[in-house]
Amino acid sequence: MRWGIVGTGGIARRTVGDLRATAGCEVAAVASRAQANADAFAAEHAIPRAFGDRDAMLQSGEVDAVYIGTPHTSHVEIAREAILAGKHVVCEKPLAMTSGEAAELGELARGHGVLLLEGMWMSFSPAMRRTLQIIDAGEIGAPRLVQAGLGFAVPQEARRYWDPELGGGALFDMGVYSITLACLVLGKVVGIEAVGHVQDDGVDLESAITLRFEDGGAAQLMTSIVSFIPPRGWIGGTKGSIDLGERLFSPASLRVAVGRPPAPPEIRDEAFEQEGAGYVPMFRGALEAIGNGWTEHPLHPHARTVEVLRTMESAQALLRGAG
């Protein structure tokens, strides 16, 4: 599968090695708005073709699939162009800035018979897949509560976090992980409360969110770009719990605790090797989906992307005092 990378920033730099390390993937091209940037990225990463015009790359017969690693607000336009060009798409999270846009992209991908996958690598990590196995096996009983957080003081030079035109803020960049975890474990959101701090330009600095779910579960989630929040998650069930070790987006370990007080719990620790920077399992999942003719992957289907974005829209409205 010949891949073209759209974007030459930090995210593309972190993922290009993992894309190349995934068996069955060839990094064939890179595209940037400036030819010089594309040329420099291609030279640095030994990529054979560099395009200063992404449309030219998308129309090229040398590329079968694209990975989009550009700022949030550009995702929808680029993903739409790629789908219409008949290319499979893996796009950095969030896929879109609204749930409606994400739903439209999903329909477009289905209509054109190509894969559309939001780059939620957490869902493909060995620890998260093992977590779902443990839950499905009933080891911790019915899951009822998720607590998760992620945050750190982001320097002003990291422009995409601070620029509202680029979709800046903690919620869409970091909060997406904890909300995805909650929806993955607990299902459909039916209620939301949110408090936090938002700048006058609309960039959310930090938030504390409580979600209620259709089956009665709840989630307590925190995120910030001005203070440190340990990147961890915890799932509580009717028989026990799962503590996900750092980092939340690609956990290296988990701890299962089962039992009923006053007896001490039975505790089991499991550790996981990370492949590359952690994106390899996701790219392997993309190849699996393409090979099976799927337009979405069951580990992270379009419906979950839409549900998470709908939840973030509601939280954002509450944080801005509009809801």
The number of distinct structural domains making up the chain is 2
- Has residue 291 been placed in a domain? no
How far apart (Å, rounded) are the C-alpha atoms in residues 71 and 78? Answer: 11
Final residue belonging to a domain, choices 76, 101, 119: 119
301 belongs to a structural domain: no
177 and 222: one domain? Answer: yes
Q: 190 and 130 in one domain?
A: yes
* Residue where one domain finishes, among candidates 90, 119, 148: 119
Same domain, 158 and 109: no
CATH of the domain at 19: 3.40.50.720
Same domain for 206 and 66: no
Cα-only R_g, the chain:
20
pLDDT per residue as tens, the chain (323 positions): 999 999 999 999 999 999 999 999 999 999 999 999 999 999 999 999 999 999 999 999 999 999 999 999 999 999 999 999 999 999 999 999 999 999 999 999 999 999 999 999 999 999 999 999 999 999 999 999 999 999 999 999 998 899 999 999 999 999 999 999 999 999 999 999 999 999 999 999 999 999 999 999 999 999 999 999 999 999 999 999 999 999 999 999 999 999 988 889 999 999 999 999 999 999 999 999 999 999 999 999 999 999 999 999 999 999 988 54
Contact at 8 Å (CB) between 255 and 269?
yes
Position 292 in a domain: no
Residue 300 within a domain: no
CA distance 312 to 24: 35
pLDDT for res 323: 44
Q: What is the CATH number of the domain that holds 137?
A: 3.30.360.10
Output the pTM of the full model.
0.95
Same domain, 138 and 96: no
One domain for residues 203 and 127: yes
Q: What span, in angstroms and rounded, lies between the C-alpha atoms of 77 and 66?
A: 13
Query: Same domain for 103 and 56?
Result: yes
Residues 6+ apart with CB under 8 A from 162: 154, 156, 168, 203, 225
pLDDT of residue 224: 98
Domain identity same for 237 and 180: yes
d(CA 307, CA 142): 21
**Domain housing 185:** 123-280+306-319
Residue type, 142: A
Query: Are 135 and 259 in a shared domain?
Result: yes
Same domain for 201 and 179, yes or no, is yes
Domain boundary among 84, 99, 119: 119
Q: What is the predicted pLDDT for the residue at 62? A: 94
Question: Comparing C-alpha atoms, which of 27, 71, 66 is closest to residue 49?
Answer: 27
Asked whether residue 93 is domain-assigned, the answer is yes
> Does residue 290 belong to any structural domain of this protein?
no
Q: Would you say residue 46 lies in a domain? A: yes
- Residue 249 sits in the same domain as residue 182: yes
Q: Give the pLDDT score at 322.
A: 55
Is residue 313 one of the residues assigned to a domain? Answer: yes
Cα distance between residue 233 and residue 246, in whole Å = 8
Considering the domain architecture, whether residues 262 and 152 belong to the same structural domain is answered as: yes
